[in-house]
């Protein structure tokens, strides 16, 4: 996935950093992420989908109620303008293998614990209760986007007493979509952050994010211009699409195979480079950075005027 995108991510980091206003949180917390979401019962047994036939990614934005309740009319208008513009940009540079329709997401479990039955299951069995939030509780997802779920009410594993959660049927799902982006506006407590984002759910066959969120920080937006918020949202959407250090171990190659045999080692995906004279506002200094080194990045880089 994403030969052109990998180059854009480097550009994007540079352009955001140069403004020196927005501080990105960058990290992907483990509790935000649901791995192994099965897109349909048929996909359990289907051969690995061809990763070599990507199509332009189809986004479905979903604005959370907090965008209306927590932001003023100017902020709301700006968010509602910026998000479609950013998604439109990404759909011209990101291609993915089409996602089987409709997309249905997994419910989270209170306390995070769930049982994985032998042979797997498309229905999640929570140790305690099923809930309709995801991404560590940041986003509340409409029932219509969610699969049903079974809850085992913290009963002993030796005598499990499980019952269907509510509702007890799957939602209709989201048709003709590769990625659902939830947009929220919860106040932020960390520094001058204007927005933060993460991937939330990864499908089981290629470990590709199929849902994520961007949260805009209404208490920090202040006099932010539309153009600047566009750049911030663009940067954050990269994170929502899985461009975070902790997810790089899950990246696949162009054949759909894991790039690394272990989820602890990612030497063929990133490397560290030490710059003796890294330009800063206070003058050059020594600086070590972590950079992408996938085949696509190296190929694009070698063809770039920057490096010739
Ligand atoms: Zn970032």
Ligand 1 centre and the CA of 128: distance in Å? 34
User: CA-CA distance, 104 to 175, in Å (whole number)?
Assistant: 9
pLDDT on residue 113: 86
Contact 35, 202 (CB under 8 A): yes
239 is in an annotated binding site: yes
Cα three-residue angle 182-80-220, rounded to 5 degrees: 80
| 21 CA to centre of ligand 1 in angstroms | 13
Collapsing DSSP to helix, strand or coil, 113 comes out as: coil
The sheet that has 195-203: what strands, in order across it? 34-37, 195-203, 209-216, 179-184, 59-63
Give the pairing type, strands 108-109 and 133-134. Answer: unpaired
Beta bridge partners of 285: 278
Give the orientation angle of helix 295-302 with respect to helix 3-19, to 10 degrees.
70
| Residue 7 pLDDT > 50 | no
- Under 8 Å CB-to-CB from 65, ≥6 apart: which residues? none
CA of 271 to the centre of ligand 1 (A): 18
DSSP string, 74-107: HHHHHHHHHHHHHHHHHHHH-EEPPPPSSB-BPP
For residues 218 and 193, what is the distance between their CA atoms, to the nearest angstrom? 10
240 Cβ contact partners less than 8 Å away, ≥ 6 residues apart: 181, 197, 198, 199, 209, 212, 213, 214
Alpha carbon of 231 to ligand 1 centroid (Å) = 11
Give the separation between CA 57 and CA 100, rounded to whole angstroms: 13
Instruction: Write down the residue that tokens 């099965």 correspond to.
Output: 38
pLDDT of residue 44: 44
Residues 159 and 225: their CA atoms lie apart, in Å, by 58
Of 32, 203, 236, 300, catalytic:
236
State the ipTM, two decimals. Answer: 0.98
Residue 81 pLDDT class (50, 70, 90 cuts): very high
Query: Would you list the DSSP string of 139-153?
Result: EEPPGGGB--EEE-T
d(Cα 61, Cα 179) in Å, to the nearest integer?
8
State the distance from the centre of ligand 1 to the C-alpha of 46, rounded, in angstroms. 35
Most confident of 27-31, 185-189, 242-246: 185-189
Residue 88: is the preceding peptide bond cis (ω within 30°)? no
Mean pLDDT over 220-227 rounds to 91
Tokens at residue 226, please? 């539309």
Structure tokens at 38: 């099965």
Query: What is the per-residue pLDDT for 45?
Result: 44
| 300 labelled catalytic | no
User: Could you tell me the domains of the chain?
Assistant: 3-103+174-307 (3.10.170.20)
User: What band does 26 get if pLDDT is binned at 50, 70 and 90?
Assistant: low
Question: 87-96, 103-112, 118-127 — which one is most confidently predicted on average?
Answer: 87-96
- Tokens of residue 224, six digits: 């932010």
* 22 is an annotated ligand-binding site residue: no
Indicate if the pLDDT at residue 17 is higher than 70: no
178 Cα: distance to centroid of ligand 1 (angstroms): 22
Strands 179-184 and 95-96, bridge-based pairing: unpaired
SS3 content of the chain, % helix, strand, coil (to 5): 30, 25, 45
Could you tell me whether strands 55-56 and 34-37 are parallel, antiparallel, or unpaired per DSSP bridges?
unpaired
Please state whether 173 falls in left (phi above 0), alpha (psi between -120 and 50) or beta: left
């Amino acid at each position: 996935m994403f030969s052109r995108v990998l180059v854009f991510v480097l550009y994007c980091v540079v352009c955001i950093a140069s403004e020196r206003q927005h501080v990105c949180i960058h990290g992907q917390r483990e509790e935000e992420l649901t791995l192994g979401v099965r897109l349909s019962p048929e996909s359990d047994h289907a051969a690995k989908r061809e990763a070599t036939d990507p199509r332009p990614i189809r986004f479905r934005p979903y604005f959370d109620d907090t965008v209306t309740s927590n932001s003023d009319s100017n902020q709301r208008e700006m968010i509602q303008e910026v998000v479609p513009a950013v998604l439109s940009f990404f759909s011209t540079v990101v291609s993915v293998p089409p996602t089987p329709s409709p997309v249905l997401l997994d419910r989270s479990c209170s306390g995070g614990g769930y049982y994985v039955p032998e042979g797997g299951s498309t229905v999640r069995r929570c140790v305690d209760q099923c809930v309709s939030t995801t991404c560590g509780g940041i986003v509340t997802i409409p029932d219509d986007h969610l699969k049903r779920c079974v809850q085992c009410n913290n009963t002993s594993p030796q005598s499990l007493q499980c019952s269907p959660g509510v509702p007890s049927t799957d939602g209709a799902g989201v048709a003709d979509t590769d990625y659902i982006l939830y947009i929220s506006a919860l106040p932020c407590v960390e520094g001058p952050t204007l927005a933060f984002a993460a991937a939330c759910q990864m499908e089981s066959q290629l470990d590709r994010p199929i849902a994520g969120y961007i949260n805009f920080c209404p208490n920090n937006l202040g006099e932010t211009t539309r153009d600047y918020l566009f750049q911030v949202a663009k940067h954050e959407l990269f994170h929502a699409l899985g461009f975070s250090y902790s997810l790089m171990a899950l990246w696949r190659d162009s054949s759909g195979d894991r790039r690394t045999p272990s989820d602890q080692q990612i030497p063929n995906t990133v490397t560290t480079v030490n710059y003796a004279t890294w330009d800063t506002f206070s003058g050059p200094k020594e600086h070590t950075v972590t950079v992408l080194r996938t085949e696509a990045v190296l190929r694009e880089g070698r063809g770039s005027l920057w490096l010739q």
